[in-house]
Chains A and B, each alone.
Chain A
Amino acid sequence: MIDCSKALPFLLVSLLISTLLGWLAFTQAVAGEVESSGFGAVAIPQPHKPDNASACVEPLDIMRREHMNLLLHQRDATVLDGERDGNYSLVGCMDCHNPAASAETVIRYPDPQHFCAGCHLYASVKIDCFECHADRGLAKIEQGRLADSNVAQPGSGLLSLQTFQMQLGDTGGD
């Protein structure tokens, strides 16, 4: 028969590990905001509003609640069936929700100023869209190309993400 007392050390160890993992996740999640607003008090995001557009493709409340579904739905239609005439393409969003091509400012995705990043950091919802997709319109890509940007950046993991964000702070920040 199994001796229950033996289970205790296992239980303790797993508790310890899960606690550590929890802390790790938590500190990573807030890492972006800690500098600006202090631990625990996260500032309400002020995403960059489009410079020249009048209205979004849908009313604000629908966009706030449904943007992910709209994007997802059209994403599959575009990739699988080649339907590119919908209103809800990520390229469309990024064309508008970025500084105008004439403006000097360039905002890249992990920057809290980025239209998507601001709220997503605030809500702590991780998206991986911009690992592949352009985070700004074509004109802004040409304008704000990182040196050697199609070759991988040096550094790794969290560290490189943070240094990357700091670099961005210099070029496109507040």
Chain B
Amino acid sequence: MATELDNIEIRPARRRFVQGAAALATTLIAPGILLYKTGQASSNGAAKTPRWGLLIDTNALSEADVDACVSACQREHGWHSEAGSATDAQWIRKLRLSDERSGQQQFLPMMCQHCADPPCVDVCPTGASFKRDDGIVLVNKHTCIGCRYCMMACPYKARSFIHETLYDQLPVAPRGKGTVESCTLCVHRIDRDGANAVPACAEAVNRGEHKAILFGDLNDPQSEISQRLKSHGATRIRADLGVDPGVRYQGL
């Protein structure tokens, strides 16, 4: 995994260029014109920053599949959770839904939903909880002071606080006592592979043509995820809160 970090695609360079151009434009052109320009740019969709998201087809996921997602994430990032422990971290978890009347059961993976308007980012006093330009919500553990307010604010119970000293962390997933963490959407893979990235949970369950967990750019109307969302639709969990999660579910 460590060596893979060396040969990274030049995607970040493009982002740097876009940012530089935007900064230049901001200083040179009046803000009103800038707003007009970006409004125009978004209509053709070509030069937009991506917004990464997942589309999870719960009908294609068995209970064993969801378990496979969880253990793949554990292997990828080196976290463990003892059964019954209230203090161990869980980046992704298996939810069992039972209909209160019919008793019908469903299984689905639940993790950070990478909201467009994340409450955890709003409430973080130091700005350690932040959203990247490409929509991934992360914790900057260098500035996290461990106040846990983001855990109070998260509607999805997606975040964990590290209650104990950890040893032998993996190079791709620095994590340590006294800070908060959650699913990173496998950001290290995304930074390397861009739109072709496959998060560890998706990799564990995608077989054949139909991808049970589909990763892609929600901002690109041509992407597979946007196409499938357009044709089949999907559920946002707790859509009532208006946080616009980047993880969508089909079959609920």
| A residues with CB within 8 A of B | 75, 79-85, 89, 91-92, 94-95, 108, 131-134, 137-139, 141, 144-146, 149-153
Which residues of B lie under 8 Å from residue A81 when comparing CB positions?
Answer: 12, 15-16, 19, 132-133
| B residues with CB within 8 A of A | 1-3, 5-6, 8, 10, 12-13, 15-16, 19, 78-80, 82, 130, 132-134, 138, 140-142, 163-172, 174-177, 179, 187-188, 190-192
CB of A79 within 8 A of CB of B138, answer yes
A166 to chain B, nearest CB (A): 15
Which residues of B lie under 8 Å from residue A84 when comparing CB positions?
Answer: 5, 8, 12, 188, 191-192
Main SS class of interface, A: loop
CB of B164 within 8 A of CB of A152, answer yes
Which residues of B lie under 8 Å from residue A75 when comparing CB positions?
Answer: 142
B174 to chain A, nearest CB (A): 4
CB of A132 within 8 A of CB of B188, answer no
For A75, A89, A94, A134, the residue with the greatest tally of chain B CB atoms inside 10 Å of its CB is A134
Contacts A85-B8, A132-B176 given; indicate if A150 touches B166 (C-beta within 8 A). Answer: yes
Contacts A134-B171, A134-B174 given; indicate if A79 touches B5 (C-beta within 8 A). Answer: no
Further pairs besides A85-B8, A139-B2: 16, Cβ < 8 Å: A82-B15, A82-B134, A82-B190, A83-B191, A84-B8, A84-B191, A84-B192, A85-B12, A91-B171, A131-B176, A132-B141, A134-B174, A137-B2, A144-B168, A150-B167, A152-B165
9 closest A-B pairs by CB = A152-B164, A132-B176, A149-B168, A132-B174, A131-B176, A83-B12, A149-B167, A134-B171, A82-B191
Which residues of A lie under 8 Å from residue B130 when comparing CB positions?
Answer: 80
CB of A141 within 8 A of CB of B170, answer yes
